[in-house]
Amino acid sequence: MALLALTLVVSVMPARAQSDDERYSIMRPEKGTQTPQPRAQMPPPLYVPQTGQMLPNLPAVAPSGPGGRETTQDRAARCAHQVGVYGQAAGDRNSYIGSCINQ
C-alpha cells in the first residue's frame, strides 16, 4: 500500500529541468576570478661533459605547480623527453637526466 502511495505521489509531482546557470560545472570559472596564463620558463642550457656540448633545455610544456611553476615531476618528464630528442649528443642517458633534474 505504501509503495502504491509513493508511486502516485512521485508521478503527480511536476518535473523541473535545471538551467545552465543552476548546474555546477567544473569547466566554467567562478564569477569574479581571473584566469592566470602560465608562462613557459626556459631553464639555462645544460653542459654535457661526455660530449663537451651545451644543449638547450626545452620549455616546460604544462607546468602543474602553484602559480604555473615547473614541479620536480614536470622537470623529470621534460628531461626524459630531452634525452630522447638529443640522442647521442646527450651522452650517457642516466647522467644527463640526473644532471638535468638537479639543475
Place 85 in a pLDDT band, splitting at 50, 70 and 90: very high
User: How far apart are the C-alpha atoms of 58 and 35, rounded to whole Å?
Assistant: 25
User: Average pLDDT, stretch 73-84?
Assistant: 92
The 10 Å Cβ neighbour count of residue 90 is 22
Per-residue CA distances from 17 to 50, 72, 78 (Å): 67, 46, 46
Mean pLDDT, rounded, of the chain? 80
What pLDDT is recorded for position 21?
61
The predicted-structure confidence for 3-38, as pLDDT tens digits, reads as follows: 877 777 666 666 666 665 656 666 666 777 776 665
97 or 16: whose pLDDT is higher?
A: 97
- Nine cell digits for residue 94: 642516466
Domain boundaries, the chain: 50-103
Whether this model's pTM surpasses 0.85: no
> What phi, psi does 53 have (nearest 5°)?
-110, 155
What pLDDT is recorded for position 20?
59
What pLDDT is recorded for position 33?
72
> What phi, psi does 6 have (nearest 5°)?
-65, -40
User: How far apart are the C-alpha atoms of 24 and 57, rounded to whole Å?
Assistant: 41
- Nine cell digits for residue 51: 660530449
User: Average pLDDT, stretch 46-59?
Assistant: 89
